[in-house]
Amino acid sequence: MSTTQVDKSAPSERARKIGGMYRTYWLVMLVAVVALSLVRIATGADDITAANTLRAAILSACPILLAGMGGLWSERAGIVNIGLEGQMLLGTWGAAYFTYNYGPWVGLLGAAAMGALGGLLHGLATITFGVDHIVSGVAINIIGLGATTFLAEAFFSDYQYGGPRQLTGLDGLPFVTVPGLSDGLKSLNDQGWFVISDLAGLLAALTTKVSVVTILIAVIVVLTAWILWHTSFGLRLRSCGENPAAAESLGVNVYRYKYVAVLVSGGLAGLGGAFLALVAASGFTTNQSNGRGYIGLAAMIFGNWNPFGTLGASLLFGYTDALRLRSPSAVHALLLVVAIGLLAYAAWRFYQGARTSAIVLGLIGAAFLVWFLTTDTVPREFTGMTPYVVTLLVLALASQRLRPPAADGQVYRKGSAG
Amino acid sequence: MRRTTTFAALLSVSVLALGACSSSDSDGGDKASDNTSASASASADVCKDADGDGPKIGLAYDVGGRGDQSFNDSAYAGVAKAVDELDATCLEGEAQDAEPESAREDRLRQMADAGANAVVGVGFAYSDAINAVAPDYPDVNFGVVDGFDPDDKPNDNVAYFSFAANEASFLVGVAAAEKTASKQVGFVGGVHNDLIKGFEAGFTAGVKAVDPSIKVDVAYIEESDLSGFNDPAGGKTAAAGEFDKGADVVYHASGASGSGIFDAAVEAGDGNWAIGVDSDQYLTATADQQPHILTSALKRVDVATFDFIKSVADGSPKTSYVTYDLKNDGVGYSTSGGFVDDIKADIDGYADKIKSGEIKVPTAP
């Protein structure tokens, strides 16, 4: 009698919690759209929700998201993968080499394979030899840069449109546009109506010239969430990141799961490199990842080691990055968005009874508001930092609730379960 | 455990083997020989069989070496001309990525010890090495492309070649202004530093000289991080932003990020142009990109290199800072593709005005 009650109440409790979480997501998104829309009308900075800006934002977010997903896989199994940057670089070379010789689809596979090779090296060092994860990761970044530079010089110098440091003119992958919908939404976006035009801009960006790789990435995010949280394989993999000794005592082959995780991790980072070389631009240059691997890692932490959190963080990065590159003047309008966001959060904290943090947040929000009202432009130096400042701000607000896997970054030796 | 040790040993052996490949590869001389679009001068190595009794040249390439279709090839073209016209002989050496400063110095010393009397370092990265080596070889003359003197002590046997990039940018600005239909053009810089600001200033001045009402959009990929020269994706985002907002000609000074700017022009469609920089980028662009490359602002490293060697051969070697500008043909614009043929007279008219001093091109925006 009592046991059935427990069995009944446990899932419903969980469902309510998850339902509440999704409600919060939707609420936050709605507030963000309304705030952006208000700011757009108040400042006349149409670019901040223009379909083309949002499309560029998605393109900028994709490689970061893939790196973030890579980080998620390995860290969920307890391996800190700081080598994402190097694995991404290996991926750019793999994409270029295999696309040139066998076409872009094989290029994607080649990029994933090269990235996975970097992941294998990381796994060998950290899992089999027990090297410190950070040391190995840094080494992989150096190896990634050195190897791609060497390989590019060795292979691409003789190729058409190639040189010792670049290979341009690679075949691209197809784009998908939803006919009718795309044009209609774009013209709606141009109307400048409150909220409706902004949402139309977002939908237009999702229906106009979307790369098939972007669609593939969306599938990867959903698959990652499903595999890691809804299969027994995923449960075992995550148990290796939370408490490998307990996992091993229950018969889980910890080394094998860690290897799988780190291989997938490298492969995803390699795909991120392929996105840079094949979709975001049509060419390879040495060292073109430009720190996106590190940003992906930050996006994953900021997304609380969770696929959809990582997605949100990557989109935020991509958005601010696209905005600063496309319309530096619109970054000024972003100050108002930040001010509104901070003040709203402060009000929420005050309502919750956290007086001190509410006052601190309110003061910072007010400072941003004053900054917005007393200036017409943001200094160039600040524009370049936008993505990082916004992230730092959100991270500072969210960090109290972040929880990494318990055994993340610890070296685990087989048999230590006793 | 034994298995892993064996594996580790194998791994380290293979790493060593790879390293050996790397150094032997850099000595191979005919890397660009299969490249159909490379300049013809790069296909044969004149240094191998030059045996004249003119000056002996040491040519120290930057990373990439001969076949890079840019500065290194251009410097080689200058040397090839010297071999041809001055009966010169030459030695070559190439930098590796991330090599230590001492490797650059050794390369220069080897050339000087081998009897070279005119040593040219391609790229500003040789500035420090040449500053360290030059005092030990007072009879050898050194030249650095884009170089600078890193300390206060002047060297009387070193020449630093600098290029008036603002003047070349002015001329392509004129071309952009004459070709734009939307009365809006764009500029994408790699990094927001003084060097690239000079490109922006010259370009804007050229555009405004033709029609002050034309709007110039300016974007930089990075504020201070040099990775802005290596980011095609960022370049494409910035250029696409300018095309979306109505610009139909975009000039870039962003190094390897430039391929992203060309991609953006292709995506923007017919009637949209990109302008290349430093070398004639029409020659190295892909078939898709070529119809969109209006012209390129040129830095004539070959002219500077030949000029320096000639000054050594004549017995009055150039020293200190030497500026190459329109007057001595050190900068210019390219006409490959024939897209500027109809406005060539206008551009040359402005070039004459700059040469005569009638127009002063600003160096900062």
Q: Check residue B10 and give its pLDDT.
A: 53
Q: Check residue B38 and give its pLDDT.
A: 36
Distance from CA of B16 to the nearest CA of A (A): 13
Q: Check residue B25 and give its pLDDT.
A: 38
**H-type alpha helices, chain B:** 2-27, 46-49, 71-86, 101-113, 127-133, 165-179, 194-210, 232-244, 258-268, 301-313, 344-356
Least confident of A143-157, B62-76, B175-189, B240-254: B62-76
pLDDT bucket at A10, cuts 50 / 70 / 90? low
CB contact under 8 A, B286 and A161: yes
Q: B61 and B120 in contact (C-beta within 8 Å)?
A: no
Does the CB of B195 have a partner CB in chain A at under 8 Å? no
Instruction: List CB contacts (< 8 A) between B287 and chain A.
Output: 169
Q: Give A200 or B12, the one with higher predicted confidence.
A: A200
Give the mean pLDDT of A90-96.
96
DSSP-derived letter for residue A289 is T
Does the CB of B282 have a partner CB in chain A at under 8 Å? no
> Tokens in use for A33?
């759209």
Distance from CA of A320 to the nearest CA of B (A): 12
pLDDT bucket at A400, cuts 50 / 70 / 90? low
Give the mean pLDDT of A86-100.
96
Biggest distance spanned by C-alpha atoms of chain B: 79
Q: B67 and A163 in contact (C-beta within 8 Å)?
A: yes
> Tokens in use for A96?
């270029």
Please state which of the four CATH numbers 2.40.30.10, 3.40.50.2000, 3.40.50.11540, 3.40.50.2300 is assigned to the domain occupying B42-163: 3.40.50.2300
Q: Check residue A46 and give its pLDDT.
A: 82
- Global pTM reads 0.84
Helix (H) or strand (E) holding A74: helix A51-76
Nearest of A332, A306, A339, A254 to residue A48 by alpha carbon? A332
User: Are B42-163 and B167-299+333-356 equal in CATH topology?
Assistant: yes
Helix (H) or strand (E) holding A285: strand A283-285
Reply yes or no on whether the pLDDT at A2 is more than 50. no
CA distances from A22 to A56, A132, A230, B124 (A): 26, 37, 17, 55
pLDDT bucket at B31, cuts 50 / 70 / 90? very low
Distance from CA of A403 to the nearest CA of B (A): 32
Give the mean pLDDT of B58-68.
80
Instruction: List CB contacts (< 8 A) between B252 and chain A.
Output: none
pLDDT bucket at A344, cuts 50 / 70 / 90? confident
What is the Cα–Cα distance from B109 to B114, expressed in whole angstroms? Answer: 8
B residues 75..94 contacting A (CB < 8 A) = none
| Cα A44–chain centre separation | 30
CB contact under 8 A, A52 and B244: yes
CATH class of B167-299+333-356: alpha beta
Q: A49 and A204 in contact (C-beta within 8 Å)?
A: no
Q: Give A93 or A389, the one with higher predicted confidence.
A: A93
B residues 163..182 contacting A (CB < 8 A) = none
Q: Give B219 or A19, the one with higher predicted confidence.
A: B219
Going from N- to C-terminal start, the domains of chain B cover 42-163, 167-299+333-356
Q: Check residue B252 and give its pLDDT.
A: 95
Q: Check residue B250 and give its pLDDT.
A: 96
In percent, the amount of chain A with pLDDT more than 70 equals 93
Instruction: List CB contacts (< 8 A) between A325 and chain B.
Output: 219, 221, 234, 237-238, 241
Report ipTM (2 d.p.): 0.86
Reply yes or no on whether the pLDDT at B24 is more than 50. no
Q: Check residue A418 and give its pLDDT.
A: 57
Q: What is the pLDDT of chain B when averaged over all its residues?
A: 84
pLDDT bucket at B37, cuts 50 / 70 / 90? very low
Out of A19-23, A66-70, A250-254, B97-101, the most confident range is A66-70
Nearest of A141, A294, A400, A167 to residue B286 by alpha carbon? A167
Q: Which residues does A279 contact at the CB level (< 8 Å), separation at least 6?
A: A59, A62, A172, A173, A211, A213, A214
